[in-house]
Amino acid sequence: MKEDILISVKGLHTLDKDGEQEEIEVISPGKYYFKNGKHYIFYEEQPQDGTECIRNRISLCDGLLELQKKGAMSTKMVFERDKRSESWYNTPFGNLLAGITVTDMQVKEEEQQIDISIEYDLEVNYERLADCRIEIKVMEKDSGLFHLT
């Protein structure tokens, strides 16, 4: 895969209390590198409230995905199948302890594209909050694979 990429990160949260679903999608240009057996993806997102830009780094290797955010919100979240991890999620409104238990993780690597799908249970401050799914699509910027639906 070439260095210049487009990345789509789509998150779906189903809240336990009422079954309500919330979907968020971020599409951004970014940079891709493969080094020492690891995929590295760098991109920025601008929050809708106009606060400071958030710089993101995803690293992927052998079914382990780490997402690091720096800026208005910061965290380092770890996703690994059948494992639970905890991390502090720092926001302008205060800090939250996020617990993540991955129930399914699929990674499909192709020459010009990487597709990642993760299903997980989310806890905040030790209280179960939602069933979540995150879909990450990384593709070469000039591949012609990106389409808005």
Average confidence (pLDDT) over 2-27: 83
Beta-ladder partners of 88: 97
* C-beta of residue 79 within 8 angstroms of C-beta of residue 87: no
Tens digit of each residue's pLDDT (9 = 90 or more) over 30-70: 999 999 999 999 999 987 766 789 999 999 999 899 999 99
Average confidence (pLDDT) over 13-40: 85
The yes-or-no verdict on residue 81 having pLDDT over 70 is yes
